[in-house]
Structure 1
Amino acid sequence: MRHFFKFIAVFLPFSLALSATEEIEIVKVEVATVIWKDQNTSEKFEIVDENILINEALSLEEIEQPEINLENIINEKEEIVFDFEYFEEIPDFVENEEELDEEESIAIPSFFRVLDKKDHELNGTMRRISAVPDLELDNHKSWFQPLKDEALTPYILVSDQDNQCVVKVFKSRFPRIHAKCAMGPDSLSNTYIMSKSEFNVKPLIGEFELDIEESEIPKNKRQLYVIDEQRRISLNELHYFDHPRIGILVGVYSYPKEED
């Protein structure tokens, strides 16, 4: 079934582009999850055997970098050989880049795709935070996305590990973040995790349904730690959503990056 969605998603962006007339605001989002170890607190937490964090979440696209095997392009004389019939024509260099229109020089990035670590904004900050005693920092990742209305924006799956987290970055007059995290029983077992291809065709087919088989095995009860908070934000800031046991860091930055 997922192959069907990939097939449709190839054609859908072209039809959407034809109807798009308004300018898209783009942001860069960077996140990381936090678990506090051996923290004393007087707060009491609910003990449950199940919890649902969210019904539907988008899994970020990950692109693997191809590895070039030089053995495949070396001849018997151990010389690297290129067949220039397979190379595209090299474009002429622009002598004066200032003549380019500023809007034309801004590249539209791929949305909801995991960025390379070298493109993160907060590498230094995250290294310093990870050095804090009794703190476990994980799931540091970043992506580009359009800043749209809440109804048009998916929750992004940040972590499916111990501290399970999703975030939604959207605009309702002002930029906003809605962060949801849970640690305890598996809170994603009843969540449909969408691929990017499925998300692209979601306007055509509506909500996805998860096939769940009821298990007769009794579930173990565990303490449940939950974050469910929405807040208005300003761009180019780092925000922390706190809890005595868990947390999530979310930075939202304008694109193109504003010059200091």
Structure 2
Amino acid sequence: MVFFKRIGDLHFTGQQEPITLDETEVSEYLLADAENTLPEGYALLARNERTLEGVYRRLRSSPEMRPMLHIGWRQELKDKNETPWLTFSLQDEPEQEGLEGFEGVIRLSRNKGLLLESRTVGYKEVAESLPLEIETSETSDDVELLDLPFATDSEQQPEESNEKEELMVQDIQMPDQLGGFFEMSESIKVKLGKLYYIDHPTMGLLVKVTPYQASLEEQESLN
């Protein structure tokens, strides 16, 4: 799997209240390149065993996406109620664009086929909007003054009037910047060897499931 966040000029406001993963989803099994704690029968894939290395490298050169995790594992396929969630936790540098932190879970199980479930929560502190002062002019006749192109300077002069113009100051807010809590959740049936793309305006997940060909020694140990 490859997890990435979207970067660039994002203007989304997420939920203000924290979004948390369910207690039934959060587990002790952590997906990370070091200090892993995986269930019995699971094993991390070496870099040369992963099939999405090319995809990961292309994302690293993308001006719109920032890959944050590329990892793979081998597992025995079991029913959904026997398959634990795998957890991942990611934190980006504060100066980087996009969301700052992510908490996610993922699992692959057997449920009338192959079932892939994932849920990720992303977060960035909401920045305070800065007010702008905009001045507008208004006459007593409510005639709107337009900045029109004129042929000569004399034509640009307004007609004489004894009516007093009033300046009005209005406060408006800057457009909402990226901030708040965002959730990406998906449950899909998958096929072997096919690349699946789980999309969200602020993040994304690429997953590919491939069959494992056990060695003769492994097959003999199983028998």
Is 1:175 matched up with 2:111?
no
What TM-score do the two structures reach when normalised by structure 1?
0.50
Query: Number of paired residues?
Result: 145
Kept in 2, the 8 Å contact 1:156–1:166? The answer is yes
Structure 2: state its 5+ residue gaps.
92-100, 126-178, 215-223
Structure having the higher strand fraction is 2
Counterparts of 1:137-152 in structure 2 under 5 Å? 137-152=67-82
* Equivalent position of 1:72 in the other structure: none
Kept in 2, the 8 Å contact 1:60–1:113? The answer is no
Matched letter for residue 144 of structure 1:
R
Q: Percent identity?
A: 22
Kept in 2, the 8 Å contact 1:157–1:166? The answer is yes
Structure 1: state its 5+ residue gaps.
1-30, 65-109, 187-221
Kept in 2, the 8 Å contact 1:180–1:226? The answer is yes
Kept in 2, the 8 Å contact 1:239–1:249? The answer is yes
Q: Rg larger in 1 or in 2? A: 2
Kept in 1, the 8 Å contact 2:19–2:183? The answer is no
> Shift of the alpha carbon at 1:246?
1.0
Moved over 4 A (4+): 60-64
Change (3 A) 1:247 1:60: closer
What TM-score do the two structures reach when normalised by structure 2?
0.58
Is 1:51 matched up with 2:31?
no
Counterparts of 1:60-209 in structure 2 under 5 Å? 60=31, 111-161=41-91, 162-184=101-123
Secondary structure of the 2:54 match is: helix
Change (3 A) 1:39 1:116: same
- Following the alignment from structure 1 to structure 2, what is the Cα–Cα distance between the partners of residues 175 and 228? 17
Structure having the higher helix fraction is 1
- CA-based RMSD of the aligned residues comes to 2.6
Matched letter for residue 235 of structure 1:
L
Is 1:247 matched up with 2:186?
no
Kept in 2, the 8 Å contact 1:33–1:165? The answer is no
Change (3 A) 1:115 1:184: same
